[in-house]
Amino acid sequence: MPNEISRRSFIKGSLAAACATCATQVPLPASAKTKNDQELATLIDIRKCIGCEACVEACRDVNDFKYPQPEKPFPKMVPKRVKVADWSDEDGREVRDRLTPYNWLSIQWARVQVDGEEMELSFPRRCMHCQNPPCADLCPWGAARKLENGITVIHADICMGGKKCQVVCPWDIPQRQTGVGLYLDILPSLAGNGVMYKCDRCYNRIAEGEMPACIEECPEDVQIIGPRDEIVAEAHRLEKEEGVSIYGETENGGTNTLYVSPVPFETLNQAISKGPGQPHFDKVADQMAHADNLAKAMLIAPFAGLAAAVGRLYKSTKNVETETGELS
């Protein structure tokens, strides 16, 4: 992905596309396709995870070439309230207990009671890959986007690092690295602040028919991947037959990462460390639901305007008739 569109080609392409949009009609592009049932989802069975971090290491290995290589010194930020986010030193790159620009998957731990017995559970955390991702919907540049197979990616060559995606993400997943990306070529001190990074679920490996690294390298087969319908059906089967709780089926309107847990997620949520780079297990309402409803209302608005205008013309015609009648 980072090599598909360079900064120069981005600017040239954007301007050309904008001009083309201006000069011609706007046909629906061939690439605009409706979502089908082939969105891929993963199911993470918390009961199987042993916290070995093989997934973490696999993720770091295969995605190393996507990690930021910031230029230093960083541009002076204006105004001063804008803080740099730098994980590029040796210590920062080694952080594994939270999400960072160099660590897109981390293991969370929770000490809970399971069937009256105290247990320590571990589980991988990363981007949930929402079905209707606010990060992609609200990204002002189109840098964050959802692929047809349900993966949400952030385009490192386009991202300005404004952190809007993190602010609107219910789980605060994307993480910023300053000193890299498009903003350096535009107004480095005044606009932008780097690039946001997060799990892209190894979209490039999936495109080549391979498995995401975290799934392939897991010695306990904690995760499975498949069409979302099948993944949801499997989660329901486990819920019915083995009494697990499900997370992700309805959160934020549905995500393409589902978890099953031996304890309710409310319990799990209370037992985990939460904070920057450490996502919660709260219930999450569909963040884009209101916007989607308003979008539907846009279809009605022209008809309302038309009805009002026709009423106005009718009233005007009646008034003219009255005035004409009075004159005669």
Partner 1 sequence: MTTVAGSRVYPEQKYFKPLYLILLFIMGLTGFGQMPIFKRYYIADIPGLGWLADFYATHYIHYIGAIILFGFFVYAAVVYFGLLRKQFRLSWAAYVRIVLLALITITGIFRVLKNLPDVVFSPLFTMAIDISHLLFMMFLMIFGIVFMISKKGWLTLIKAE
Q: Give the residues lining the site for partner 1 (CB under 8 A).
A: 5, 10, 13-15, 17-18, 20-22, 26, 29, 31-35, 79, 81-82, 131-132, 137-138, 140-142, 145-148, 155, 158, 162-164, 167-168, 191, 253, 287-288, 290-292, 294-295, 297-298, 301-306, 308-310, 312-313, 316, 319
Cβ of residue 312: shortest distance to partner 1, in angstroms? Answer: 6
Other beta carbons within 10 Å of 50: 12
* C-beta of 95 vs 138, nearer to partner 1: 138
Cβ of residue 221: shortest distance to partner 1, in angstroms? Answer: 30
* C-beta of 167 vs 233, nearer to partner 1: 167
Nearest in space to 212 (alpha carbons), one of 98, 97, 58: 58
CA distances from 2 to 66, 75, 89, 157 (A): 7, 22, 22, 6
Sign of CA dihedral 21, 1, 124, 274: negative
Is 309 buried (19+), middle (13-18) or exposed (0-12) by CB count in 10 A?
Answer: exposed
* C-beta of 112 vs 143, nearer to partner 1: 143
* C-beta of 223 vs 255, nearer to partner 1: 255
Interior CA angle at 102 toward 41 and 140, to 5°?
65
Alpha-carbon distance of 45 to 110, in angstroms, equals 14
Cβ of residue 274: shortest distance to partner 1, in angstroms? Answer: 21
Evaluate whether 130 touches 253 at the Cβ level (below 8 Å).
yes
* C-beta of 175 vs 245, nearer to partner 1: 175
Cβ of residue 160: shortest distance to partner 1, in angstroms? Answer: 9
* C-beta of 140 vs 243, nearer to partner 1: 140
Cβ of residue 288: shortest distance to partner 1, in angstroms? Answer: 7
Provide the 8-state DSSP code for 112.
E
Cβ of residue 295: shortest distance to partner 1, in angstroms? Answer: 5
DSSP string, 218-270: -TT--EEEEEHHHHHHHHHHHHHHH--EEESSSGGG-BSEEEEESS-HHHHHH
* C-beta of 108 vs 256, nearer to partner 1: 256
Cβ of residue 134: shortest distance to partner 1, in angstroms? Answer: 8
Antiparallel, parallel or unpaired: β 117-125 and 152-154: unpaired
Cβ of residue 256: shortest distance to partner 1, in angstroms? Answer: 12
In the structure encoding, which two tokens stand for residue 56, read together?
A: 């973490």
* C-beta of 207 vs 306, nearer to partner 1: 306
